[in-house]
A and B are shown apart, each in its own frame.
Chain A
Amino acid sequence: MKKILMALVAGLPAVAPAEAQSHRADPATGTETWETRAHGVALRLTQILPDQARAFYLSRGFAAEDAELYATDCVFMTVLRNDAAPGALGFRLADWQVRVRGERRALRPVEDWLALWRERGVPQPARIAFRWAQFPPEQEYERGEWNQGMLAVGLPPGERFDLAARWQVAGKAYEGVLTDVRCASR
């Protein structure tokens, strides 16, 4: 099993001790998961295969060509959880970064996706399902609170990247970097 490292930085730029991360593949589906549990916070990315994303949105009223746009944008089931942080955890996806081939990119805001769906005539019930199936654009978790949602990182199938997730706990900034994550290739 391949190990990946995540550095948690408390009160940037001070670097907290690096924590070993886990990587596993589901034997039935082949989907891969990258996860860290450090400083009382758990962050997990699990590949969503393009076929899974297509099926999800087709069954919720998307036209095939619209579902295709999202399904091939490198989608992950994302979980962020405050298990035992020393206070409320707050984050905004606008602060997160995708790092690929030396370039840093922001995640596409959910509002941009919704504007695209309106422009393309996606029905309102399908847009509502899309909105609430996404990982929240911002949130605050007390201990024990968490969300699970879809996150598209805007890369082609098979691409490798690092995800820099940023959050705050009790006024301190943390950055968790999941490295060498791979977009599903089929």
Chain B
Amino acid sequence: MFAALRVELMRFARAAALAWLAATPAAAEDLPPLTHALTPIATPQPAPALKLRDLDGKVHDLARLKGKLVVVNFWATWCPPCRREMPSLERLRQRLENKGLAVLAVDVGEDVETVFSFTGQLDPAPAFPLLLDQDSAVMQGWKVRGLPTTFVVDAEGRVVYRAIGGRAFDHEAVVNQLQPHLPVR
């Protein structure tokens, strides 16, 4: 019985080590800081199309969110800065949703099980839609070159901010940048 338990524990340890290695190629204490600002777009242009299914199979269409300020975040579970910034995105949603902010997080190239099991580890867990771009076609339509990349789409459907690399989305400086674009002040 104890031998069987030991085998199970070793199997668990191997799986945990593999998961850590797979998810964290760089040492945790050696991570670059998250940025506290968004990049304004000098001449806002209409956002590209975005229509994808979430983890429950429900279709979400950015075009149907006109009238809201929408944060569109492209990410993947294996991307270290994406993992770090996601809780701040949920805190931002909690803070500004009642003023007309919505968040869409677009996972690139992964399946429902992978995304679901990852987000269960987050605190706070995301309550915004997690969309699946399994062939990365939508992301390429948005001309994303690296993960994470985030766009902010105003109530008229124009891209007004961009953020390449990880952000602390609930930082006061970011919130201050978003305030003037919120439909409800």
Contact = CB atoms under 8 A, between A and B. Distances in A.
Interface of A: 26, 28-29, 31, 33, 42, 44, 46, 48, 51-53, 55-56, 58-60, 77, 79, 81, 124-125, 128-129, 131-133, 135-139, 141-150
Contacts of A135: 146
- The binding surface of chain A is classed by DSSP as mixed
Given A55-B21, A147-B146, A141 B78 contact: no
Contacts of A128: 108-109, 134-136
Interface string B7-51: 000000000001101100111011010011101000000000000
Contacts of B136: 128, 131-132
Given A26-B29, A55-B22, A124 B145 contact: no
Interface residues of B, number: 34
Contacts of B147: 132, 147
Contacts of B76: 129, 132
8 contacts: A29-B27, A48-B26, A55-B18, A56-B22, A129-B109, A145-B39, A145-B165, A146-B164
A133 B137 CA distance: 16
Interface of B: 18-19, 21-22, 25-27, 29-30, 32, 35-37, 39, 76, 78-81, 108-111, 134-136, 145-147, 162-166
Contacts of A48: 25-26
A31 B81 contact: no
Among all A-B residue pairs, the 5 with the closest Cβ atoms: A128-B109, A146-B165, A55-B21, A136-B146, A145-B164
B30 A147 contact: no
Contacts of A133: 78-79
Contacts of B108: 128, 132
Contacts of B146: 132, 135-136, 139, 147, 149
Nearest to A29: B27
Contacts of A138: 145
B83 to A, nearest CB: 11
Contacts of B162: 142
B35 A146 contact: yes
B30 A26 contact: yes
A141 B163 CA distance: 9
Contacts of A132: 76, 79, 108-109, 136, 146-147
Given A124-B135, A147-B165, 12 more contacts: A26-B27, A28-B27, A56-B25, A56-B78, A125-B111, A128-B109, A129-B76, A129-B109, A132-B109, A137-B145, A146-B35, A148-B80
B25 A52 contact: yes
